[in-house]
Amino acid sequence: MFLHKTIKNFTQNPKNDILSGLTVALALVPEAVAFAFVAGIDPLVGLYGAFMMGIVTALFGGRPGMISGATGAMAVVMVHLIQKGNEVGLALAEPVQNLGLQWLFITLLFVGAIQIMAGVFRLGKFVRLIPHPVMMGFVNGLAIVIFLSQLGLFKESRGTVPQWLTGADLWVMLALVGLTMGIMFGLPKLTKKLPAALIAIIVVACITIFGNIDVSTVGSFIRDGGGSGLKGSLPHFQTQIFGFLETLNGHWDLILSTAFLLAAVGLIESLMTLNLIDEMTETRGSGNRECVAQGGANILNGLFGGMGGCAMIGQSIINVSSGGRGRLSGTVAAIALLCFVLFGAPLIEQIPIAALVGVMFMVVIGTFAWSSFRILNKIPVADAIVLITVSAVTVWQDLAIAVLVGVIMSALVFAWKSATMIRARKRIKEDGTKVYEIWGPLFFGSTTAFNSKFDVSEDPNSIEIDFIESKISDHSGVEAVRNIANKYLDSGKEVKLTHLSPDCKALLLKWNPEFETIIENSIEDPRYYVVTDILDSDA
């Protein structure tokens, strides 16, 4: 049974996995190169980072079919560290070139350790708590970010400042992008046995190569950015990073703060990607396992000279949409990427950028939640505001900050609504006892409303407070119960607390052991549930 499940996860359809993996590998090249330029490092460092992230997470990650590599979200965070390191290196008595890159490798060791600990302590399961409006805003913002990132490829280098394409060059670029998108849209309607993205790239590349059409290619893109091409060697162990530890004197705070930020950005983006692919494939991955795999991959990047990274939503969607559902697809993508660098550079460098832009534009169309326009006026106003805000912050800042903002906004909205839900039904028993039947969640936000339900001075001498329809959710709620009970006792009145949850009883008795006489030990449990005591183990 275990062997069968392992084989099923590795590949259910080898042909689809291999072809989709090759498609993803082609799309990874310009992305890794572009993000390396963003971080201010050599393109080969980005490509090596994409390879090591891809191979480790494909084999050991939280779900089959998800693609990891060098990402823009992490590249933006790396920039300040690398620039600061380079400045320190040039200011040394014996100047050191590219010290910032060595600092990045050291930082990645801490990033990996933090991410592994997140997996060990099972923090990955909390991605399940992200509200749906946040998820929709996240994918919409991501689609916009991917679209905007592709617009820069409609420029060409003229002197020191890139200029927008004009005239015939622009029309040729648009035509090739449109042809790529047309093939990807139309081919699946004819046959689904061939990966549309890969066929589109091959067709457009053949047209430009055999038609001798002068367009921007992967090779020219790298050279225009300051690189020398794809040709490289196997990544090697970075023994020199340990020799640069002494240069960190006075800068450990920068290393550690950057490491925590990189780890958080990487995990949030990866777990959100996992959640999205779960929904697309109607399967379920393991967030904790993904945390550990991401951490291990980043440690390898630090040791062997890659820029690190995390899950890539665009490439993951390309992979899944092309039929790559097993771990074989990610493995093929990573190995193919390395082979491109080592052996296939001359061919890969001839692929027109227009073909890859067309693929990414189709990813944008597939990623954007178009249904959000239809439901925007049908969902609660608060949810609509959260959705729009997350989309905007994703474009303005980055994915991690947008998700955090969205979760905080949703939590505040939930807390405010829950605070107004507390109710107290009142009735008098035949023996004259006044009963307060509490309904709704009792927590820090609803304690004021809870206290206002009672009239200690006017109530009869015998009071019963029934919590069978209420859930006491935090210490503030427990403290409110303790205070109101003490008010009745100080007034010389009898009070009985019924249907309290076991954890609430324990806390009340810890503070006031004398409450043993007023707490009724009921067989029935409270019927009002706000949260479960045990979250999904996410094994």
Q: Are 482 and 512 in contact (CB under 8 A)?
A: yes
Q: Are 164 and 154 in contact (CB under 8 A)?
A: yes
Selection from 212, 339, 274, 289 nearest residue 68 by Cα: 274
Interacting residues of 341 by C-beta distance below 8 A, sequence separation 6+: 44, 47, 48, 51, 230, 231, 232
Sign of the alpha-carbon torsion through 325, 326, 327, 329? negative
| Burial label, 304 (beta-carbon count in 10 A; 0-12, 13-18, 19+) | middle
Angle at 308 between CA 279 and CA 11, to 5 degrees: 45
DSSP string, 90-154: HHSSS--TTHHHHHHHHHHHHHHHHHHHHHHTT-GGGGGGS-HHHHHHHHHHHHHHHHHHHHGGG
The encoded tokens of residue 402 equal: 């947008």
* pLDDT score, position 528: 52
Q: Look up residue 534 and give its DSSP letter.
A: S
| Burial label, 449 (beta-carbon count in 10 A; 0-12, 13-18, 19+) | middle
* pLDDT score, position 530: 44
The encoded tokens of residue 351 equal: 């692929």
Low-confidence ranges of the chain (pLDDT < 70): 1-8, 157-160, 225-229, 521-539
CA atoms of 462 and 514, how far apart (whole Å): 18
* pLDDT score, position 385: 92
Angle at 185 between CA 181 and CA 186, to 5 degrees: 115
Selection from 126, 170, 434, 449 nearest residue 271 by Cα: 126
Neighbours of 297 (CB within 10 A): 31
Identify the three-state secondary structure at position 467: strand
The encoded tokens of residue 14 equal: 């080898």
Identify the three-state secondary structure at position 498: strand
* pLDDT score, position 539: 45
* pLDDT score, position 194: 73
DSSP string, 357-417: HHHHHHHHHHHS-THHHHHTTTS-HHHHHHHHHHHHHHHHS-HHHHHHHHHHHHHHHHHHH
Torsion angle of C-alpha atoms 50, 55, 61, 66, degrees rounded to 10: 60
CATH class of 420-517: alpha beta
Phi, psi of 498 (to 5 degrees): -120, 155
Identify the three-state secondary structure at position 246: helix
The encoded tokens of residue 230 equal: 């794809």
The encoded tokens of residue 504 equal: 């609430």
CA atoms of 11 and 64, how far apart (whole Å): 9
CA atoms of 421 and 450, how far apart (whole Å): 10
User: What are the percentages of helix, strand and coil residues in the chain, rounded to 5?
Assistant: 65, 10, 25
The domain limits of the chain are 2-390, 420-517
* pLDDT score, position 6: 59
* pLDDT score, position 55: 96
